[in-house]
Chain A
Amino acid sequence: MARASFHTAVNLLAFALIGTAILAFTYAQTHDKIAQSEEAEKLKLISQIVPQDMFDNDIIKDTQQIKADALLGNDGTTTAYRARLLDKPSVLVLEAVAPDGYSGRITLLVAIKSNGELAGVRVVSHKETPGLGDYIEIARSNWIKGFDGKSATQPGDWKVKKDGGQFDYMAGATITPRAVVKAVHKALQYFELHHDALFAPSDPIKGKKP
């Protein structure tokens, strides 16, 4: 009996070791390529909202860590990407979260020019109803481009048209654009408050607890 269990244990151990070796090998082989793909994907998204002629630095490397803040809606620390032209700050790319989408959180990437104007907004992830609330994706409609050129004070009424504001919405799905509009507006306010610190080569920015 004891011999049988010993035999089983050795067997399991041997297979665990072989399995670990195979995994370690594959990880080592694919690790660089995965990091590259992830970076390329991020850059692709960022370059959609940051105009090519507005930066000459390596955006992916020039980052600032941002602590959780009620205005951004982020739970943990997020990374902001900083575009510079001739060493002057030009555009900041922030991650913002709209917590009140129709089915949960909507994560946005918001690019703000140093003068406080929006360069562009993109949805990174969402769980809105397919075919109904998903027109916030650039792949589905141009709705999200409606933010281009807006700033915290321009227009004065940051609301969807149904609530007496400026922004379009589609009948049947008002909660989704309402959440996105609110989140983008708050991100702009955050930017106004922390403008200098965001571009400074300094420590992480402390946020206000929600």
Chain B
Amino acid sequence: MTYQEFKDILYNGVWKQNTGVVQLLGMCPILAVSSTVVNGVSLGLATALVMALSSAAIAPIRTIVPNEARIPVFILIIAVLVTVVQYLMNAYMYSLYVVLGIFIPLIVTNCIVLARIEAFAAKNPPMQSAMDGMAMGLGLTAVLAVLGAMREIAGHGTLLSGIDMALGESAKSLVITVIPNYHGFLLAILPPGAFIALGLLIAGKNWLNLRAEAKARSAAIQAVQTQAA
């Protein structure tokens, strides 16, 4: 894999084709677990891990699997990997496992995983595929982190609350109280808050895109004018 390829895949996954705010795939977990930063990032990383592993596992066998059996085989591989991740989390991060509960097995049904495998891993070599899965997963994690931060600050007035569930009791001191004596804003924590925050994020991403486009256009016009002159 060349450096340029690496950069393209990373840029594509994290920014240009971001699953959360551009492709809008996997909305169910995005809206459900983004009530705090820790929850969001944890599920995002678990999904990224599954995507990278399943892409890496499927790319080498893409020529062996008969075309008509490919979907069941892909789903089987994803399900196996998700279950492995679930066992590991249950064993080593028990309290976090309790919080994320049903959303971990649901990674299997997250359409973004199968979508990337169909669109990328089934057509590309293993290294690139693993990289693509990882980049897409990280893009999702980034959206979940920002969304979680918006909702947590608005809803609870804190950041990183519950980090001790992921890193152990000693991490409790990492919790940041952004607004002291905050009474909470219920709407932000409930599902509507997730829709509103996600809407703002998508609007922000589109605005940045438009601005970049306008800039590129005016630069091009200027270049033409200087050439003409």
User: Which A residues lie at the B interface, using CB under 8 A?
Assistant: 4, 7-8, 11-12, 15-16, 19, 22-23, 26-27, 29-30, 33-34, 37-38, 40-41, 129-132
Q: Is the CB of B184 within 8 A of A37?
A: no
Residues B76 and A129 in contact, CB atoms below 8 Å apart:
no
The 8 Å CB contact of A38, one of B69, B79, B94, B189, is B94
Compute how far the CA of A41 lies from the CA of B94 in the bound complex, rounded to whole angstroms.
8
Q: How large is the interface on B (under 10, 10 to 19, 20 to 34, 35 or more residues)?
A: 20 to 34
Q: Does the CB pair B69–A11 fall under 8 Å?
A: yes
Partner of B186, one of A7, A29, A40, A132: A132
The reply to whether the CB of B180 lies closer than 8 angstroms to some CB of chain A is no
Is residue B190 contacting chain A, with contact meaning CB distance below 8 A? yes
Chain B, residues 179-210, CB within 8 Å of chain A (1/0): the string is 00000111001100000000000000000000
B186 surroundings in chain A (CB, below 8 A): 129-132
A7 to B64: give the CA distance in the assembly, Å. Answer: 11
- Best-surrounded residue of B88, B91, B190 (most CB of chain A within 10 A): B91
Q: Are A26 and B184 in contact (CB under 8 A)?
A: no
Complex Cα distance, B155 from A19, in Å, reads: 42
Question: How far does the Cβ of A47 sit from chain B's closest Cβ, in whole Å?
Answer: 14
Residues A12 and B189 in contact, CB atoms below 8 Å apart: no
Complex contacts, A4 vs chain B, CB 8 Å? 66
Mostly helix, strand, loop or mixed at chain B's interface?
helix
The residue on B at minimum CB distance from A19 is B80
Q: CA A40 – CA B92 in complex, angstroms?
A: 12
Q: Is the CB of A33 within 8 A of B91?
A: yes
Residues of chain B within 8 A (CB-CB) of A29 are: 87
Q: CA of A120 to CA of B90 in the docked complex: distance in angstroms?
A: 28
Task: Describe A's contact surface by its main secondary structure.
Answer: helix
B residues within 8 A CB of A38? 94
- Shortest C-beta distance, A157 to chain B (Å), equals 30
CB-defined contacts of A41 to chain B, threshold 8 Å: 94-95, 98
Instruction: List 15 other contacts, CB 8 Å, given A37-B90, A41-B98, A132-B186.
Output: A8-B69, A11-B64, A11-B65, A11-B69, A12-B69, A15-B77, A19-B76, A26-B84, A29-B87, A34-B87, A37-B94, A129-B190, A131-B155, A131-B185, A131-B186
Q: Name the CB-closest residue of A to B161.
A: A139
A residues in contact with B69, CB < 8 Å: 8, 11-12
- Name the interface residues of B160-189: CB closer than 8 Å to any CB of A: 184-186, 189
Q: Chain A residues near B84 (CB, 8 Å)?
A: 22-23, 26
User: Which residue of chain B has the shortest Cβ distance to A20 in the bound complex?
Assistant: B80
Q: Given A8-B66, A37-B90, A37-B94, are A22 and B80 neighbors across the interface (CB < 8 Å)?
A: yes
Binding site for A on B (CB under 8 A): 35, 64-66, 68-69, 72-73, 76-77, 79-80, 83-84, 87-88, 90-92, 94-95, 98, 155-156, 184-186, 189-190
Of A12, A34, A132, which one neighbours B90 at CB under 8 angstroms? A34
The contact sample of 5 A-B pairs, CB cut-off 8 A, is A8-B66, A11-B69, A23-B83, A26-B84, A29-B87
Contact A30 B90 (CB under 8 A): yes
B35 smallest CB distance to A (angstroms) = 8
A168 to B133, CA, bound (A): 52
- Complex contact B72–A34 (CB within 8 A): no
A16 to B88, Cβ gap below 8 A?
A: no
Whether A37 contacts B91 in the complex (CB less than 8 A), given A15-B77, A129-B186, A131-B155, comes out as: yes
| CB proximity of A119 to chain B, nearest CB, Å | 24
How many angstroms from the CA of A34 to the CA of B87 in the assembled complex? 8
Asked if A33 and B92 sit within 8 Å, CB to CB, the answer is yes
B189/A131 in contact, CB under 8 A:
yes
| A15 partner, pick from B76, B90, B94, beta carbons under 8 A | B76
Q: Which residue of B lies closest to A28 (CB)?
A: B87
Of B69, B88, B185, B189, the most chain A CB neighbours within 10 A belong to B69
Nearest-Cβ distance from residue B55 to partner chain A, whole angstroms: 16
